[in-house]
Structure 1
Amino acid sequence: MMKLKNILLVILISAATSFLSVWGYNRWEAKQTAGVQEPGKLPINYAGFFDGERAAGAVDFTAASTSATPAVVHIKTKTKARQVTNNLPRSRSRNPFSDLFGDDFGDLFGGPQSQTIPEQRASGSGVLISNDGFIVTNNHVIDGADDINITLNNKRSYKATLIGADPSSDIAVLKIEGKNFPYLVYGNSDDVKLGQWVLAVGYPLTLDVTVTAGIISAKARSIGINRRQSESPIESFLQTDAAVNPGNSGGALINTDGQLIGINSAIASPTGSYAGYSYAVPVNIVKKVVNDLMKFGTVQRAYLGIQYSMGEPTEDEKKEYGLRDGEGVVVTDVPVGGAASVAGIKKGDIVTKINEVKVTTGPEMVEQVTRYKPGDKITVTYLRDGKENTATLTLKNRSGNTNVVKNATILEKLGGTLENLDKKTAATYDVPGGVVVRKIGSGALSKTKMQDGFVITSVNGIVIKNTDDLRAALERNKGNNVKLEGMYPGYEGSYGYPLNLEGE
């Protein structure tokens, strides 16, 4: 009897252990797939889309519009008021009248020339891409915002959290809490054809959700607009003539099957409003950026390791390299140690294919490479002396290796030993505060001429009182093209150091 009880006890424990293991694995698996679209499964907003009610061959946008509008959201941002200064103190002496007349009286004695920028509000659009509340939009829609609020088509509002952003591609990912949200199904931007009907969905000019129609008028367009926020922009836009206005940024470009094929990002206009052309980031680029931001917190960008002509080749370049129109991309330089150099590609070669996909322009080539991460192996087809060659190369990151790029905080990228300026010292030098660089370290600061002991008092004119202010000021533009200004205690004069944290 005792033996039977022992056997039953073992069976019971085994069953409980199996149940707990399966339950725990399912919980873990659910977290790993958060925000991921499940192939073959459609959200509820696509109900009835393929019910056969549309007339064969008819151009009808109603089904696509009905499916898309619930999944396109209105984004409203708020940037808090902040103090800025145009000049550091011209005198380090304490103003003897400040206690009687206030700090503003100090301007007469060479004090800081400062002002307050009022609270700013803006709006744009976004696209739900999963039923658990992940949203893709443009980086420039939310860049520098202190508060981000989302309003759905049904008027319900949510506070959003920024998951990650990539200035190079102008893509950002947000998250709202909830479940069973409508979302747009990914299409394939490679399948998009010139002349194909498309719809732009968004919230232009602070209006309610709006749908406009147009056609694809060009592919792989580069207009240089992302250079305003990144030194290594990714541009291979879908160009359309669907009406897009301020507020449409971050909204959806869809095909007539209701699939997301792009994120509307820019317009070509002398007035800032619609004038005939608009540009969208292809969804195949968007998917790669979104997946990287959600998995790593930063984009794992791969590089071929070549330099090439960004614009159309000149007649002299065509003659020098023997390039025919539409033939490929001329390699103008091959840095030593890069992926292309290791694979034997040389200056003067003409790249014609990336993984068997034909490329004829720089933007087309960048679009293909953007889909891969450092460590991936690809084949590059190129012409040398009129003969076709193929090389297999391993893509590298910006640092020249295949390591996963970590999402370091903005202050970690800055490097150095930082601490808040104490109140006594701040009062002595008549500044509201600052951040002392006790030791430069090996980060981005080491690439400037800054010396140990420097006190940062402003970043791009924004007054810095402590490390929290410094972090916020750098994050407003991701640390790209900033100027750190401040002083060296005990020395007259102010100093400024330009800095760019991109790629650190």
Structure 2
Amino acid sequence: MKRTASLFLTCILSGILTLGGYFLFFNEDTIFIQESPGIPAYTPVNMNSLPKDGGVDFTEAANKSVNAVVHVKNVAAVRKSPFSSTTALALQGTGSGVIISPDGYIVTNNHVIQNANRLQVTLNNNQNYMAEVIGSDPKSDIALLKIDAENLDYLPFGNSDNAEIGEWVLAVGNPFNLTSTVTAGIISAKSRDLGMDSNVSSFIQTDAAVNPGNSGGALVNTYGELIGINTAITSQTGTYVGYAFAVPSNNARKIVEDILEFGDVQQGILGIRGVQAANLPKEFNVNVSEGVYVDEVEQGSGADKAGIESGDVITRIDNVNIRKFSDLTGYIGSKRPNDIVEVQVIRDGEAEVFKVKLTKYEVFQIKEIGLEVTNASPEELSKKKVANGVKITRGLTPQMQNEQLYGTIITAIDNIPVSSIADVEKVMKRRNPSDPVTVTFVTPDGEKQKYVWR
């Protein structure tokens, strides 16, 4: 990803001082490609619209938040001396976390707990607990911890879809090991796409001061509702310069509940490939400046079955306006497979509404050859006149991205037929890593080809 002169890195908040900090580079010129009443609530939620009064008082929200935000510490057992058999806990790195239930469930960032030896959680009253990792999702940078405690102060999830640009918010965390720190700012923007390979490509941007150590901490509104998990900053130095980003609470809550119910993240998709309408050349004759232009509809997908067609422009999903692609991916990222959403499109200048049942996003990354694949529908296999195979969704490396292999069918790996991503995973696990990889393709025009990666 290209670097720029004025804005050359996005730093995950833990930085050098926290757990496994890392840097993300993003291009400021390029954009890469909630709650449902039917979703059961496994975590405390306050989805009601609260009345707004004339003044803003941060004290109540701050008091609620500081007791529900914890200090997450990566600690290791080390010998007190080379000649001693006794050990002590040594601090390796720190971050933040948010208690989301009275019985000790805590949400934080995956990069805060990644590769941790042992995790110690310190409450605002200085009580310490050892924490268990219940589950994590690296692609969304969300993790769920559990401590053995009861009757804890916690923050209920708010509805991040209702958060408004210009609304006052508080960032609560432990920057630079300064515990229980509260800073104030406003929501600067919503649906920010940082160009990350992430299940959450739609971040809340705020100018509340956040720094290394705030990772995994709370972004709350003035009513003390959790509307985001502070995750990243944009900075030339690795410290705060006015741009901070949080995973929206609707997305974080959905990920947490997926971990609790299923053990992993259940991602639903519409089944379209699209681009922002504003980026289309004039020859497309699309007289809409906001929305997502549907370039292709996957056969057999929910969008296909509902009647959405190539050339439609998606402008609204449920009660959420879709102005750019990150609006779409951010909202769909808060939904599950089999959820039904109302999709409004502009077709031939007229608005039409379709009810789309989301399908499950299932992929497998064949890192050895730099490709990601998904299950192919019977319609896609029939169109290519093949009995079995998986479909390439994208390239994982710049070289494979340039090959533009989307939609190509892989029928065999190492001369072993594959019919699903489960078959692909089995073949890749059984093979000798030092051996070359042989892949049989059926190109979009129906031609069979075989390639060998050494």
| TM-score scaled by length of structure 1 | 0.60
The residue number in structure 2 matching 1:153 is: 124
Structure-1 separation of matches of 2:315 and 2:181: 40
Question: Which of 241, 249, 260 is the equivalent residue of 1:294?
Answer: 260
Structure-1 separation of matches of 2:172 and 2:353: 42
* Equivalent residues of 2:42, 2:257 under 8 A apart: no
- Deviation at residue 401 of structure 1 after TM alignment: 10
* Equivalent residues of 2:200, 2:251 under 8 A apart: no
Structure-2 separation of matches of 1:440 and 1:78: 47
Structure-1 separation of matches of 2:227 and 2:250: 8
More helix per residue: 1
For residue 268 of structure 2, what is the amino acid of its counterpart? A
The residue number in structure 2 matching 1:270 is: 236
The residue number in structure 2 matching 1:186 is: 157
Question: Which of 272, 279, 282 is the equivalent residue of 1:314?
Answer: 279
* Equivalent residues of 2:46, 2:156 under 8 A apart: no
> Pairwise mapping of residues 94-493 of structure 1 onto structure 2 (< 5 A)?
121-225=92-196, 227=197, 230=198, 233-309=199-275, 313-314=278-279, 316=281, 319-326=283-290, 328-399=291-362, 443-446=423-426, 448=428, 452=431, 454=432
* Equivalent residues of 2:277, 2:286 under 8 A apart: no
CA deviation digits over 1:86-122, x for unaligned, max 9? xxxxxxxxxxxxxxxxxxxxxxxxxxxxxxxxx9922
2:269 aligned counterpart, secondary structure? coil
Q: Structure 1 residues 203 and 356 mapped into 2: Cα distance closer, same or farther (>3 Å)?
A: closer
Structure-1 separation of matches of 2:299 and 2:77: 47
- Deviation at residue 214 of structure 1 after TM alignment: 0.6
- Deviation at residue 178 of structure 1 after TM alignment: 1.1
Q: Structure 1 residues 79 and 221 mapped into 2: Cα distance closer, same or farther (>3 Å)?
A: farther
Structure-2 separation of matches of 1:67 and 1:389: 44
1:353 aligned counterpart, secondary structure? strand
* Equivalent residues of 2:313, 2:346 under 8 A apart: yes
Q: Structure 1 residues 377 and 187 mapped into 2: Cα distance closer, same or farther (>3 Å)?
A: closer
How many positions carry a matched residue from both structures? 331
- Deviation at residue 392 of structure 1 after TM alignment: 1.9
Structure-2 separation of matches of 1:242 and 1:251: 12
CA deviation digits over 1:455-503, x for unaligned, max 9? xxxxxxxxxxxxxxxxxxxxxxxxxxxxxx5x57xxxxxx899xxxxxx
* Equivalent residues of 2:234, 2:243 under 8 A apart: yes
Structure-2 separation of matches of 1:72 and 1:286: 16
Q: Structure 1 residues 295 and 269 mapped into 2: Cα distance closer, same or farther (>3 Å)?
A: same
Q: Structure 1 residues 385 and 451 mapped into 2: Cα distance closer, same or farther (>3 Å)?
A: same
1:265 aligned counterpart, secondary structure? strand
Structure-2 separation of matches of 1:354 and 1:174: 32
Q: Structure 1 residues 120 and 443 mapped into 2: Cα distance closer, same or farther (>3 Å)?
A: farther
The residue number in structure 2 matching 1:410 is: none
- Deviation at residue 314 of structure 1 after TM alignment: 2.5
- Deviation at residue 312 of structure 1 after TM alignment: 7.6
Structure-2 separation of matches of 1:172 and 1:361: 28
* Equivalent residues of 2:277, 2:293 under 8 A apart: no
The residue number in structure 2 matching 1:36 is: 43
Structure-1 separation of matches of 2:423 and 2:72: 35
Question: Which of 55, 65, 70 is the equivalent residue of 1:68?
Answer: 65
Structure-2 separation of matches of 1:341 and 1:35: 32
Q: Structure 1 residues 237 and 451 mapped into 2: Cα distance closer, same or farther (>3 Å)?
A: closer
| TM-score scaled by length of structure 2 | 0.66
The residue number in structure 2 matching 1:59 is: 56
Q: Structure 1 residues 194 and 339 mapped into 2: Cα distance closer, same or farther (>3 Å)?
A: same
Structure-1 separation of matches of 2:140 and 2:274: 19
* Equivalent residues of 1:35, 1:133 under 8 A apart: no
* Equivalent residues of 2:122, 2:129 under 8 A apart: yes
For residue 148 of structure 2, what is the amino acid of its counterpart? E
Structure-2 separation of matches of 1:173 and 1:165: 6
Structure-2 separation of matches of 1:361 and 1:57: 33
For residue 368 of structure 1, what is the amino acid of its counterpart? Y
The residue number in structure 2 matching 1:77 is: 74
Q: Which has the larger radius of gyration?
A: 1
1:160 aligned counterpart, secondary structure? strand
Return 5+ residue gaps in structure 1 as ranges. 1-32, 41-49, 51-55, 82-118, 403-438, 455-484, 489-494, 498-504
Structure-2 separation of matches of 1:342 and 1:214: 44
